[in-house]
């Protein structure tokens, strides 16, 4: 009887140990950064005013690495753009400027 219990306990220990190792080896879950979310919300707003061709160049993803890539609409710009009417977007030529915008160029939002 005791050997049966020992086997069960030994099996449970092995299961817990294996599970712990597997959890440690898992890559971290991809969570969205606030700048990515802010950028996506701004693009969703701009879709009401601009063509999809204008917005095709916008990248809202962050990629870490040697040459990290960040969203090309900043958090402050994103918040500002969401507050503009389509008339204001067109007056400031934001659709045209965003289509040809170079990284780290002039501010989009007036």
Count of domains observed in the chain: 1
**Per the domain annotation, does 75 fall within a domain?**
yes
Which tens digits make up the pLDDT trace of 60-79? Answer: 888 777 776 778 888 999 99
- Between residues 70 and 22, which one has the greater pLDDT? 70
High-pLDDT (> 90) share of the chain, %: 31
Q: What local confidence, expressed as pLDDT, does residue 1 receive?
A: 56
Rounded Cα distance, 88 and 49, in Å = 10
**Per the domain annotation, does 106 fall within a domain?**
no
- Residue 40 pLDDT > 90: yes
Instruction: Enumerate the β-bridge partners of residue 69.
Output: 63
Q: What average pLDDT does the segment 98-102 reach?
A: 80
Q: Find where tokens 């690495």 sit.
A: 65
Q: Find where tokens 């007036």 sit.
A: 110
**Per the domain annotation, does 108 fall within a domain?**
no
Burial of 82 (0-12, 13-18, 19+ CB in 10 A): middle
- Between residues 93 and 100, which one has the greater pLDDT? 93
**Per the domain annotation, does 40 fall within a domain?**
yes
**Per the domain annotation, does 63 fall within a domain?**
yes
């Amino acid at each position: 009887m005791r050997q049966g219990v020992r086997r069960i306990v030994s099996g449970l220990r092995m299961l817990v140990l294996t599970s712990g190792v597997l959890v440690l080896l898992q890559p971290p879950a991809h969570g969205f950064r606030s700048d990515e979310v802010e950028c996506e919300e701004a693009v969703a707003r701009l879709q009401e005013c601009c063509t999809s061709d204008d917005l095709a160049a916008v990248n809202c993803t962050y990629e870490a690495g040697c040459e990290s890539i960040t969203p090309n609409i900043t958090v402050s710009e994103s918040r500002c753009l969401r507050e503009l009417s389509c008339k204001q977007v067109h007056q400031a030529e934001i659709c045209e400027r965003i289509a040809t915008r170079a990284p780290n160029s002039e501010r989009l939002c007036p």
